[in-house]
Amino acid sequence: GQNIDQPTEMTATEGAIVQINCTYQTSGFNGLFWYQQHAGEAPTFLSYNVLDGLEEKGRFSSFLSRSKGYSYLLLKELQMKDSASYLCAVLDSNYQLIWGAGTKLIIKP
């Protein structure tokens, strides 16, 4: 079966750095997405990786290793507004998105 694993919850301190991991086992791979979802709101797009390596976008970076079936989202200089759930999703060989259950990130002052 297809599976996306993320930690259920993480806690970090304002101003610090946090890494949210995502491992996947899917039938084929055509890219990996990260979305941010604040409580009670819609998910919003953060990043898309299809090649190995690190993609940096401001305070957020996303890394992909296709051989390891692994990705992480790195958030730097954490702000209180970064408290949200972070969703990892993989595009499989049929171009269907398989979603992880999300990681709830709690930021403490």
Partner 1 sequence: DAEITQSPRHKITETGRQVTLACHQTWNHNNMFWYRQDLGHGLRLIHYSYGVQDTNKGEVSDGYSVSRSNTEDLPLTLESAASSQTSVYFCASSDGLDPNTGELFFGEGSRLTVL
CB of 76 to partner 1, least distance (A): 23
Q: Residues 8, 22: contact at Cβ < 8 Å?
A: no
Other C-beta atoms within 10 Å of 70: how many?
A: 15
Task: Pick the closer one to partner 1 by CB: 5 or 74.
Answer: 5
CB of 79 to partner 1, least distance (A): 22
CB of 96 to partner 1, least distance (A): 7
And the tokens for 46? 């953060």
The contact set with partner 1 (CB under 8 A) reads 4, 30-31, 35, 40-45, 48, 50, 87, 89, 91, 95-102
Task: Pick the closer one to partner 1 by CB: 46 or 74.
Answer: 46
